[in-house]
Chain A
Amino acid sequence: MTAPTMTDRTGLTGWLQRRRGVLITAALLVAFPFIISIVVDGQGLAAVWSNEQGNARFLQGLAIEVFILALYALSYDLILGVTGLLSFGHAMFFAVGAYVVLIAALLQAFLFAIVLPRVKGITFALVTLGFASVFWIVIQSSDLQEWAGAEIGLQGVEAPVWFLDTTNHRFAFYLVSLAILLGVFVLYQRIIDAPAGKVFASIRENEDRSLMLGYNTFWFKLMVLVVASITAALAGAMHTMHQPIVTPNVASLAFTVTALLIILIGGVGTLTGALVGAAVYRLLQFYLDRWYGAASELLIGLAYVLLVLYLPYGIVGTWRARSLRIKEGRDRLLQMVTGASKETSSPEE
């Protein structure tokens, strides 16, 4: 095209520029335990490696929970925010990763992905709810107590490799979970920037229009569901490594609603919102519970109401909308001052 392309920066410099937000976040989060260890705990850098007790170790644990929740919410954002598929059964994918080994999670991802793209709208939501409800009942069944622990869940799952041992190698697990989260985030960004990502967006806006352009939307929905369910299962598997007990609650409708809540807080369809939303959700939950005990539930509810009222597109979504308006205002001002023409729409009707 004669018009400039959307991304003119290429090569390593271009990649670094495009990903500078992710790289800065990664650097800050890697440095975070060391800073806490020195500033708050009064310990040295080595204390982080040697897994010393203290705030640094505790906050790494909390951060790992945020990373896992963010990974889970990110996968839900790909389904709902990017592609527009309302799923009530996303917790099932997380729970399969949490309860079963990852290989089984891959298998179930493909199995469900073959069925789910054939239904749409509210039927899709209900079918996913149906699958998840069955799974929730099955894992609580006393017949499977030996494997799934019935109502109690899984306890004391051993880490298969040392860097997934959150008890003895907390910092290694912290780095692994951070790397997985940011790696998946960059991968998702690449997906939605690619031509396939535009088709996902077109399915969200109007599936019929995608069909009439010649796209077999089945394959695109299949791709999204497989990628998202594998991601959720990965988050579930990491959850099992990190938590001493995995309860059946991770397969419940409430846990799907948690993913929904996180992306609503962060900003639906923004991807970054899943990360920000997970941090806000988990930290609010943790600190309000610590400070106010039983009253925290009420305060959390109040906080969500305020978020919805004042940040209607979520934290990231509202920020983007406002910064766009600020940019438009600045452009208009520049235009008035310089008298230069600007590419803006001019409604004729």
Chain B
Amino acid sequence: MSLLQLAGIQTFIEQFHILEGVDLEVAEGEIVALLGRNGAGKTTTLRTILGLNPARSGSVVFDGDDITARRSFDIAAMGIGYVPEHRAIFADLSVEENLRIAERKPGDLARKEEFIFGLFPDLKRLIRLPGTNLSGGQQQMLAVARALVADNRLLLIDEPSEGLAPVIIEQMMEAIRQLSSESTVLLVEQNFIVASRLAQRYVIVEEGRSVKTGSIADLVDDDETIRRYLGTGS
């Protein structure tokens, strides 16, 4: 059974019809890449799953529960972690406070710290610094680490490689690969090379609709699809 299932999702932001029919499934333990051009509706899909931009019609089912009309904090508490784009940390809080605020029950951070600092050793060294003093790469690490503090079964990760230096992208990819042993991942990624090296399956979104899905291994060889929907050659 799928851990996450979206069917016929229609989402409006104010009067704008952003998602006009998104269907996707994510099975437990896999990494699924949500691909598409800028403005295709990838981020809105993630925000709809979390109820930040609630769907007007269609259904979002997580672990057998229909969460379409639930409120964001309820959805998050069910075990869905979100790593927003643009390194969305709390800049005024320290690294430790950023991590501690993500605890859902006391002791979450203590239980996970070995795993988190194993993935991102820099964060342990910078534990007392305010988020604003971190570099872009460190902020992105903190954003991912924050989603790992609580026991999240599903992680929604939006553009983790955006604006990062190649060496940091490699580190981030390794971290996502490792964390996928603990959580299922739905990954939005503009960088096709990154997505293709991480994900097992893909869903392409075009103008608010999911238009194609399949194995990422097949997509790597499908120049026509890549050119048509992602605007890039492999």
Q: Are B90 and A202 in contact (CB under 8 A)?
A: yes
Flag if B102 contacts A348 (CB, 8 Å).
no
Residues on the B chain within 8 Å of A209, using CB: 84, 88, 90
Give B37-76 as 1s and 0s: 1 = Cβ < 8 Å from A's Cβ atoms: 0000000000000101000000000000000000111001
Category for how many chain A residues contact B: 20 to 34
Are B77 and A6 in touch, CB under 8 angstroms?
A: no
- Among listed B4-12, B18-26, B125-133, B201-209, interface-contacting one: B125-133
**B124 to A: closest C-beta gap in Å:** 6
| Interface residue A206 (Cβ < 8 Å from any Cβ of B) | yes
Distance, CA A230 to CA B129, complexed state (A)? 34
Please state if A211 and B96 are interface contacts (CB–CB under 8 Å).
no
- The one of B52, B128, B134 in contact with A212, judged by C-beta atoms closer than 8 angstroms, is B52
- Min C-beta distance of A218 to chain B, whole Å: 9
Cβ-defined contact, B128 with A349, below 8 A: no
Main secondary structure of the interface of A (DSSP, over half): loop
Contact (Cβ within 8 A) A212 B84:
yes
Determine, out of A68-76, A180-188, A193-201, the stretch whose residues face the partner at the interface.
Answer: A193-201
Per the bound structure, the CA–CA distance linking A217 and B74 in Å amounts to 11
**Does B28 sit within 8 A of A, measured CB to CB?**
no
Q: Complex Cα distance A293/B44, Å?
A: 60
A202 and B164 form a contact (CB under 8 A): no
CA of A6 to CA of B127 in the docked complex: distance in angstroms?
10
Q: Are A343 and B93 in contact (CB under 8 A)?
A: no
Residue B15 CB within 8 A of the other chain: no
Q: Write the nearest CB–CB distance from A67 to chain B, whole angstroms.
A: 29
What are the residues of chain A within 8 A of B72 when measuring CB–CB?
208, 211-212
Q: Are B93 and A349 in contact (CB-based, < 8 A)?
A: no
Q: Mark A198-228, 1 if CB is under 8 A from B, else 0.
A: 1101101110110111111100000000000
CB-based contact A202/B101 at 8 Å: yes
- Tell whether B100 is near chain A: CB-to-CB under 8 Å: yes
Which residue on chain B has the smallest CB distance to residue A205?
Answer: B90
B133 touches A345 (CB 8 A): yes
Q: How far is the CA of A245 from the CA of B157 in the complex (A)?
A: 60
Task: Report the Cα distance A217→B167, complex, angstroms.
Answer: 37
B90 lies within 8 A of A6 (CB) = no
Answer whether residue B30 sits at the interface, using C-beta atoms and an 8 A cutoff: no
In B71-122, the 8 Å CB interface with A consists of 71-73, 76-77, 82, 84, 88, 90-94, 96-97, 100-102, 104, 109-110, 113
**Nearest residue in A to B131 (C-beta to C-beta)?**
A205
Give the Cβ gap from A324 to chain B, nearest Cβ, in Å: 10
B128 and A3 contacting across the interface, CB-CB below 8 Å: yes
Residue ID in chain B nearest A204 by CB atoms: B92
CB distance from B118 to the nearest CB of A (A): 12
A346: contacting residue among B104, B135, B167, CB under 8 A:
B135
Q: Nearest CB to that of A216 among chain B residues?
A: B73
A202 B126 Cβ-Cβ under 8 A: no
Measured between beta carbons, the chain B residues less than 8 angstroms from A217 are: 73
CA–CA, A67 and B126, complex, Å: 39
Asked if residues B135 and A198 are in contact (CB atoms below 8 Å), the reply is no
Q: Which residue from B101, B129, B164 sits with its C-beta under 8 Å from A343?
A: B129
Q: In the complex, are the beta carbons of A211 and B76 less than 8 A apart?
A: yes
A349 in contact with B97 given A202-B90, A212-B52, A343-B129 (CB within 8 Å): no
* Cβ contacts under 8 Å, B71 to chain A: 211, 216
Shortest B113–chain A CB gap in Å is: 6
B163 proximal to A (CB < 8 A): yes
Query: A2 at interface (Cβ–Cβ under 8 A)?
Result: yes
Inter-chain contact A348/B137, CB cutoff 8 Å: yes
Taking a contact as CB atoms under 8 Å apart, the answer to whether A347 and B73 are in contact is: no
Residue numbers in A under 8 Å from B84 (CB-CB): 209, 212
Residues on B with C-beta less than 8 A from A204 are 92
Given contacts A346-B135, A347-B135, A349-B137, contact A214 B150 (CB under 8 A): yes
Kindly identify, within residues 1 to 27 of chain A, every residue whose CB is under 8 Å from any CB belonging to chain B.
1-3, 6
Contacts A1-B110, A1-B113, A201-B92 given; does A214 touch B129 at CB 8 Å: no
**Contact A205–B91 (Cβ < 8 Å):** yes
**How far is B164's CA from A322's CA once the two chains are assembled, in angstroms?**
30
Q: Which residues of A contact B133 (CB under 8 A)?
A: 344-345
Known contacts A1-B110, A202-B101; decide if A345 and B76 are in contact (CB<8 Å).
no
The interface residues of chain B lying within 8 Å CB-to-CB of A348 are 135-138, 165, 167-168
User: Contacts A206-B90, A211-B52; is A1 near B126 (CB within 8 Å)?
Assistant: no
What residues of B have a CB within 8 angstroms of the CB of A212 in the complex? 50, 52, 72-73, 76, 82, 84
CA–CA, A205 to B98, complex, Å?
12
Q: How far is the CB of A175 from chain B (nearest CB, A)?
A: 36
**In the assembled complex, which residues on chain A have CB atoms less than 8 Å from the CB atom of B91?**
205
> Is the beta-carbon distance between B124 and A3 smaller than 8 angstroms?
yes
- Besides A199-B101, A209-B88, 4 other A-B contacts (C-beta < 8 A): A201-B93, A346-B135, A347-B135, A348-B136
The 18 sampled A-B contact pairs (Cβ below 8 Å) are A2-B113, A3-B96, A6-B96, A204-B92, A206-B90, A208-B52, A211-B52, A211-B73, A211-B76, A214-B77, A216-B71, A345-B138, A347-B135, A348-B138, A348-B165, A349-B135, A349-B136, A349-B165
Give the B-binding residues of A (Cβ under 8 A).
Answer: 1-3, 6, 195, 198-199, 201-202, 204-206, 208-209, 211-217, 343-349
- Give the 7 A-B residue pairs with the shortest CB-CB distance, closest first: A347-B135, A214-B76, A211-B72, A214-B77, A3-B127, A212-B82, A216-B73
